[in-house]
Chains A and B, each alone.
Chain A
């Protein structure tokens, strides 16, 4: 287990993101509402480069024919099939058992660190593919 310091806080403005290489994997770091979230650049569905997807808000569960927009800046949508994931939790909006892999971010002295645990496939809930 090790923290890899990869960027400074000023490298990623609010609403922005940066793609970094850490320990042989591509990780996207997103600055959302004052927090940093790090995700694997790999969609659990068909392996798309997740960080090529757009970040936005989305419609929240609501009554029929009403629309409630929320989670602004917090939803990443896979660049291929459009699956929506919550950057704060890594969970897919249609099924929270489907997750993009998240990494713990540690901030120290203005530096952004990524915590890498030993296993690259440690989270049992992540599905490599559907078929």
Chain B
């Protein structure tokens, strides 16, 4: 008996596009009514699909769209204390019209507040902003970021440029002002106006695309540190969602080594880069790497004190869902408790 309840940092509530209509102003309402939201997805095909097959609500509809079924299958099924609802609307950031993207985010945020938060006390949520216009994003954070059930601001890792660059700073300034972490989530890499999904270009298949999502997170994390985001915004925290974990030790070592030689190009950094990552960043666990020898992953965690930087996430109801009962079983009970509860409790200021 573990004696505590779990916090799940990545739960995807979904909705039909038409569900946002009541929350949209014209001209966007007519557009969505006629044509749907129209995401610019990655274009990569998976034979498995995105949804786990047992998550379709009994009465029909999209997986993740029925709060009652989510409560039964996820909240009660795994005895969760809190589920951080992350939606899917962050993917709008690969589309082309900044005003439209901002309007979709605002409509979703109002929908989330009106139609999910009251359904169960476990539901907390990420408000979403589009990165095409950081000033509009900052205004949206000031508009809804004070809601007591909003616990973070989510942006897409599919972007036009590395996320540390000054262009994005109004988003971070607003998040810090509102006491909210920024969460970064993948999904539409390579789609629309975003960069190629890997450093080498466009791979042929989903298996390659999905594996290389970690590259995107590595590039964004190095950018965030080197551009001085954590110096400019000393109270800001970042949550790197669904980008993998096992790559982090190597990245820290390589970046620290380079800092020793190249510090003069980033003179605002007064600590080793890895220290900024430890002080400001969290990574969610899913999809957890699964070496043949489970101890190897624990060894990697121990090299960087990962137990203080990780947040358990399931990714419900997506296909690569990680059951809390079946991952990281070789961790010490103390480390498990941090990852499955205490780190999130502290970061999101939950009680």
Contact = CB atoms under 8 A, between A and B. Distances in A.
Interface of A: 45-49, 52-54, 77, 79-82, 129-131
Top 3 A-B residue pairs of the complex, sorted by shortest distance between their CB atoms? A79-B53, A82-B48, A52-B54
Given A52-B53, A82-B319, A77 B48 contact: yes
Nearest to A53: B53
Contacts of A52: 53-54
A101 to B, nearest CB: 16
Nearest to A45: B326
Contacts of A45: 326
9 contacts: A46-B322, A46-B326, A77-B47, A79-B52, A80-B53, A80-B54, A82-B48, A131-B328, A131-B330
Contacts of B328: 131
A131 B322 CA distance: 11
A46 B320 CA distance: 11
Given A53-B53, A80-B321, A131 B327 contact: yes
Contact of A47 (B294, B297, B320, B325): B325
Interface string B303-323: 000000000000000011111
A129 B52 contact: no
Mostly helix, strand, loop or mixed at chain B's interface?
A: loop
Contact of B294 (A49, A79, A82, A130): A130
Contacts of B52: 48, 79-80
Interface in B43-102: 46-48, 52-54
A46 B327 contact: yes
Contacts of A130: 290, 294, 326
Given A45-B326, A129-B327, 18 more contacts: A46-B321, A47-B323, A47-B326, A48-B323, A49-B54, A54-B53, A77-B48, A79-B54, A80-B53, A80-B320, A81-B48, A82-B48, A82-B319, A130-B326, A131-B294, A131-B326, A131-B327, A131-B330
B329 A129 contact: yes
Identify which of A49, A54, A79, A80 gathers the most chain B CB atoms within 10 Å of its CB. Answer: A80
- Sort chain B's interface into a size bin: 20 to 34
Contacts of A47: 323, 325-326
B258 to A, nearest CB: 32
A111 B297 CA distance: 49
Contacts of B326: 45-47, 129-131
Contact of A131 (B48, B53, B329): B329
B240 interface: no
A47 B322 CA distance: 10
Contacts of B322: 46
A47 to B, nearest CB: 6
A130 B327 CA distance: 7
Contacts of B329: 129, 131
Contacts of B54: 48-49, 52, 79-80
B326 to A, nearest CB: 4
B321 A131 contact: no
A79 B329 CA distance: 22
B159 interface: no
Nearest to B297: A131
Interface in B185-202: none
Nearest to A128: B326
Contact of A46 (B46, B47, B48, B323): B323
B154 interface: no
A54 B290 CA distance: 24
A79 B63 CA distance: 13
A53 B48 CA distance: 10
Identify which of A47, A52, A82 gathers the most chain B CB atoms within 10 Å of its CB. Answer: A82
A81 B53 contact: no
B182 interface: no
A79 B318 CA distance: 10
